[in-house]
Amino acid sequence: MLRPRIIPCLLIRNKGLVKTTKFKEDKYVGDPINAVKIFNEKEVDELIVLDIDATAKNQEPDYQMIKNLSAECRMPLCYGGGIKTIEQAKKILSLGVEKVAFSSAALENPNLLKELSEQVGSQSVVVVLDVKKAFLSRRYEIFTHNGKKKSDLNLLESLKKFQELGIGEIVINSIDHDGVMTGYDWNLIEQVYPEVRIPLTILGGVGSLEDIKKLIQNYKIIGAAAGSFFVFKGKYRAVLISYFNQVEKQSLMNKTD
């Protein structure tokens, strides 16, 4: 049985580590390599790195940056940003990255996911869906290009489709809760959780240990991801890279076995 993973998510822009709020107001928080070194010491479960410029600016993945991150990283690494082809994905995996993540390319060319999963294994193929609650509705809409481009695809139908293609994991990222640190979007989780039969990771909104504890213990979610929670400290959001100690981590897992 797969155990839950608690996953820091790092955002890269112009080779620097940044953090956003609702996909806006990005704040520079340091050198991503230094952050990886600290997370190595903290023995984190896994790391997600997303280059938020690559797709939005129609750029190739920065292979040298990815190589540098992978060489430093001592935990499983998932990279996303600018990947549009099987060749690009394979090159990134050859650099030591365990998983490649797709967002806009997954919506535009879903067969790419099927072909890549067949060639490299489903465990290496991840879909990241950035979603936002529709105005005056319980429905959620999918966005790409840093939340600037809305897709016409239905979220729940898309979840079913991606799973049928044979991918290994789905990451649901709440735009509304990004960087706010007031808790996950529980209504969103209630909608997507029953529809997903493969490893599911939730991202966006963590403000306390209790948020992650509730997610893992109530939903048996495989991946509990967070960004601001692991890079900011206190009400003034001072930059401080952190992670749970072993006692805290064990308290999160006690009721999941």
Residues designated catalytic: 130
- In DSSP terms, which residues pair with 80 in a beta bridge? 50, 101
What's the N-to-C CA distance of the chain in angstroms?
9
Backbone angles phi, psi at 143, to 5 degrees: -125, 155
Nearest partner of 51 among 94, 17, 93, judged by Cα: 17
Q: At what angle do helices 63-72 and 86-94 cross, to 10 degrees?
A: 30
Nearest 10 degrees: CA dihedral of 140, 196, 6, 64? Answer: -80
* Three-state DSSP state, 115: helix
3-state SS, residue 171: strand
